[in-house]
Structure 1
Amino acid sequence: MADPRFFTVAGPYTLASLADIAKASVSDGADMARIFKDVAPLEVAGPDEVSFLDNKKYVAAFQASKAGLCVVSPEMADKAPPGMTLLLAKDPYRAYARIAQAFYPVAAPEPWIAPTACIDSTAKVAPSCRVEPGAVIGAGAEIGERSHVGPNVVIGRGVIIGEDCILGANATVSHAVIGHKVNIYPGARIGQDGFGFAMGAEGHLKVPQLGRVVIGNGVEIGANTTIDRGAGPDTVIGDGCMIDNLVQIGHNVQLGRGCVIVAQVGISGSTRMGDFAAAGGQAGITGHLRIGAGARIAAQAGVMRDVGPGETVGGAPAVPMTEWLRQTAMIGKMARKKG
């Protein structure tokens, strides 16, 4: 059970309702009217709680669990302990996510504007918004319905933020157009100058950064992540992208729909990533590359060339994953022989 000081549980829900929410089928003989009150990990879940199994490493915990209901793949159903009801789903983690969202929905903010917020007279803040103490909203900015502007957030002149957005404490946003249901975590920096200058012996000459940051719907941007505005073309973050903490995205970068960028990744200017491409933690991607749709970049990879659609690469410099694994095995074998 989640700590009630921080989280408010909804429900309870019947098994029939949870099956519909999860888009899963129910194991034979189950009582569809049975009530469940919460979600919990396998190790601590009780008979009126829901858990899940998505990783075979936790089969032992699954077999010992006291959870009343568990979301599993059909292939794992025969390993369930006696008396446990099952929801059977091809993707148990996704099905469980739907259930967890039902028990812990994101509540709309209570409308309020703090007396210490500084809002320009020409800004448009929807009446259902909440603006916390110390926030600054610049001239001509627009904030959509039910959006929540956290403490000390700074929203620059002319910025447009859609409906149902959350801006965490101390985030700053300038030169940006942001869609609906975007979650910007504390300390993120969006829309600042891109790193663009003409180098020369007589001194480096700054190139004006005249683009914007355009962020689609349903995007998450992690704490202390930085997204530079474009130099002339825009920096674009597509619908549904998930960007972790401490990520650096350079000017003119374009991410397609549903890209996943894990912590401490750096993407240099003008690189384009196709729909649903993913980069593992601490990967570095040089500028002006094309990363194809569905491509996968392993953690700590150094990408210096284009990556084709659906290709998986690893290592530094990055090469196809099978080649990288072969190289790593050969180096290990050589080291053992030398020893």
Structure 2
Amino acid sequence: MADSRFFANNGPFALGEIATRVGAELGSNADAARRIEDIASLDAAGPADLSFLDNPKYADAFAATAAGACLVHPRFVARAPAGLALLVSKEPYRAYALACQLFYPEEAHGADTYGEPTIVHPRAVVHPSASIGAGATIEPGAVIGAGVEIGSGTVVGANAVVSKGCTIGRNCFVGPNVTISHAHIGDRVMLHPGVAIGQDGFGFAMGFPRHEKVPQLGRVIIQDDVEIGANTTVDRGAGPDTVIGEGTKIDNLVQIGHNVQTGRGCVIVSQTGVSGSAKLGDFVVLAAQVGVTGHLTINSGVQVAARSAVIHDVPAGQKYGGVPARPIREWQRELVAIKNLSKRRKPDEPADDAS
């Protein structure tokens, strides 16, 4: 259950309204007028709370929950305890996300402060030529450079730095200690603490007697509804721009190299590295600790398993895994074959329990 010191609850809401907003159907015993006050896990929820079940591992907790209502897949309806009001959905986790956004809109989208006074803390440093939109907030220690444009409702956190010429759209969140340079950022973008955007890409003409630095003359373009996790870095392009596509979600501790382009709705999980000039299509998923070689293309809809190394182009819609990454069924068969091979022993090899 959310701590009210940190999270503002927008409830209560009637079950019927919740069902409409999340696209669920009310079960036969659900009273559409019943008021629900909060969201909670199955084991912590009480009679005024809404919970959800998506993973079969928690079916026992579902059968014992004291929640007043629950979002659930049709296949689990018969296991519901007596008196539990059901909101039935084929995608209960997505419905849960929408319910959380209903109860806690500021956590999902940031505060909508358009039309409210702009707040610039006295200890922030804002260049006179910068433009700060209505309802924006600039927190203590933040530095806003010359010619910067910040849209309405955007929050720039403590000690963040937005360098000259950068633009940030509306209702964005720029967390504490974020640094932004050479970048244009769309609307509703969330940059968590410590993110670094727009620093030099790693470009050198290597050779004797020294490696010559290649000036990085591109930008970073971050489209609408992108979220980037803490301490992730996105290098600016060397000439072409680095582009993060609309709706892409990037986890903590990810490295995006110069000239990388991602499509819409990509998911890039923690400790992944995408080398320079790689291109990702729409809705590509890179699981944790994936390495992507530069100058290749991962086409739309591809999913890459954790700790894989992608060294060649990947066709659209494929699932890949391994080092080097290959079609996932092929990789899994190889793992099984190696495991079976390790169990074999030569005829003259002594058994493990031989003296």
Q: Normalized against structure 1, the TM-score is what?
A: 0.98
Shift of 1:336: 2.3
Shift of 1:335: 1.9
Q: Partner letter of residue 288 of structure 1?
A: H
Question: 1:258-297 counterparts in 2 under 5 A?
Answer: 258-297=265-304
The 1-side partners of 2:313 and 2:216 are apart by 25
Q: Is the partner of 2:62 in helix, strand or coil? A: helix
The 2-side partners of 1:337 and 1:116 are apart by 70
Q: Is the partner of 1:70 in helix, strand or coil? A: strand
Q: Which residue of 2 aligns with 1:54?
A: 54
Shift of 1:200: 0.7
Question: 1:114-129 counterparts in 2 under 5 A?
Answer: 114-129=121-136
Q: Which residue of 1 aligns with 2:324?
A: 317
Q: Which moved more, 1:2-11 or 1:132-141?
A: 2-11
Q: Which residue of 2 aligns with 1:177?
A: 184
Q: Is the partner of 1:50 in helix, strand or coil? A: strand
Q: Partner letter of residue 183 of structure 1?
A: M
The 1-side partners of 2:274 and 2:324 are apart by 15
> Is 2:112 the counterpart of 1:108?
yes
Q: Is the partner of 2:105 in helix, strand or coil? A: coil
Q: Which residue of 2 aligns with 1:142?
A: 149
Shift of 1:337: 2.3
Q: Which runs of no fewer than 5 residues in structure 1 stay unpaired?
A: none
> Is 2:242 the counterpart of 1:235?
yes
Q: Is the partner of 2:209 in helix, strand or coil? A: coil
Q: Partner letter of residue 156 of structure 2?
A: V
Shift of 1:186: 0.3
Shift of 1:128: 1.1
Shift of 1:11: 1.1
> Is 2:18 the counterpart of 1:45?
no
Shift of 1:31: 1.2
Aligned 8 A contact 2:29 2:86 in 1: no
Q: Is the partner of 2:314 in helix, strand or coil? A: coil
Q: Partner letter of residue 334 of structure 2?
A: Q
The 2-side partners of 1:317 and 1:7 are apart by 44
> Is 2:218 the counterpart of 1:211?
yes
Q: Partner letter of residue 77 of structure 1?
A: V
Q: Which moved more, 1:240-249 or 1:29-38?
A: 29-38
Shift of 1:57: 1.0
Shift of 1:68: 1.0
Q: Which residue of 1 aligns with 2:203?
A: 196
Q: Is the partner of 1:18 in helix, strand or coil? A: helix
The 1-side partners of 2:136 and 2:181 are apart by 19
Q: Is the partner of 2:70 in helix, strand or coil? A: strand
> Is 2:338 the counterpart of 1:331?
yes
Q: Partner letter of residue 3 of structure 1?
A: D
Q: Which residue of 2 aligns with 1:92?
A: 92
The 1-side partners of 2:343 and 2:142 are apart by 59
Q: Partner letter of residue 201 of structure 1?
A: F
Q: Is the partner of 1:51 in helix, strand or coil? A: strand
> Is 2:248 the counterpart of 1:248?
no
Deviations 1:41-95 (A, max 9, x none): 0011111100001111111111111111111111211111111111111110001
Q: Which moved more, 1:254-263 or 1:101-110?
A: 101-110
The 2-side partners of 1:91 and 1:60 are apart by 20
The 1-side partners of 2:82 and 2:328 are apart by 42
Match of 2:312 among 297, 305, 316: 305
Deviations 1:100-141 (A, max 9, x none): 111111133674111111111111111311000000011001
Q: Which runs of no fewer than 5 residues in structure 2 stay unpaired?
A: 346-351
The 1-side partners of 2:29 and 2:43 are apart by 25
Q: Which moved more, 1:163-172 or 1:109-118?
A: 109-118
The 2-side partners of 1:22 and 1:78 are apart by 22
The 2-side partners of 1:32 and 1:165 are apart by 35
Deviations 1:234-287 (A, max 9, x none): 000000000000000000000000000000000000000000001000000000
Q: Partner letter of residue 88 of structure 1?
A: V
Q: Partner letter of residue 293 of structure 1?
A: S
Q: Which moved more, 1:327-336 or 1:225-234?
A: 327-336
Q: Which moved more, 1:37-46 or 1:327-336?
A: 327-336
Shift of 1:165: 0.4
The 2-side partners of 1:331 and 1:42 are apart by 41
Identity %: 53
The 2-side partners of 1:52 and 1:67 are apart by 9
